Amino acid sequence: MERGTTMQPIKDAAADFLSHKRVAVTGVSRNGGSHGSNAVYQRLRERGYEVFAVNPQAQEVEGDTAYPDLKSIPGGVETVVIGTRPERAQATVEECAELGIKQVWMHRGPGGGSVSKDAAEWGRAHGMTVIDGGCPLMFEPTSDTGHKMMRWVFGMSGNVPRNV
């Protein structure tokens, strides 16, 4: 299958993604709870990342300022975790391209998650590294035992890609 960039093992792509400290997380909910984007947002913040919540319907989430879109984040970001419905991923990937953001992670645990095959292919064709599945919390330095176990299980089911 033709992709815009050379494929690399998920472990390497995750390490590169997580080496960047300014991260936006889309789909962070005002209601929090066990919402996947909120868990990612909270963990990244706890681990010392400068993390920005993106939710056009909220001015504040998790006690922090929320931004309506990526271009509204002061100083920009280096990477983006997409935690919205898959049908919104294309617009986010296109905004990343406009802003020069080269690394995108489409969150996926059980079920379909935020992965859009078309958006992933579009991003790769435009020179981005797109991790289309799994969760940043499944990899060091942000992982925990539960997420490491989920990485193994979801790797077997295909929800965590082997290569990106």
User: H or E segment at 52?
Assistant: strand 50-54
Residue 4 lies in a domain: no
- For residue 4, pLDDT beyond 50: no
CATH value at residue 77: 3.40.50.720
Helix axis angle, 117-125 to 89-99, nearest 10°: 20
Q: Which of 126, 142, 18, 35 is nearest to 80 (CA)?
A: 18
Residue 36 lies in a domain: yes
Count of structural domains within the chain: 1
Residue 5 lies in a domain: no
Residue 14 lies in a domain: yes
pLDDT tens digit string along 123-138? 999 999 999 999 999 9
Q: Determine the pLDDT at residue 31.
A: 81
Most confident of 29-38, 84-93, 107-116: 84-93
- For residue 2, pLDDT beyond 50: no
Q: What percent of the chain has pLDDT over 90?
A: 76
The pLDDT confidence band at residue 154, using thresholds 50, 70 and 90, is confident
Q: Determine the pLDDT at residue 7.
A: 83
Residue 120 lies in a domain: yes
Q: Give me the mean pLDDT over the 33-53 stretch.
A: 90
The pTM of this model reads 0.92
Query: What residue numbers bound the domain in which 14 lies?
Result: 10-81+99-157
Q: Determine the pLDDT at residue 3.
A: 44
Other C-beta atoms lying within 10 Å of the C-beta of residue 79: 24
- For residue 159, pLDDT beyond 90: no
Q: Strand pairing partners for 163?
A: 9
Residue 21 lies in a domain: yes
Question: Mean pLDDT score of the chain, rounded to an integer?
Answer: 92
Q: Give me the mean pLDDT over the 57-79 stretch.
A: 96
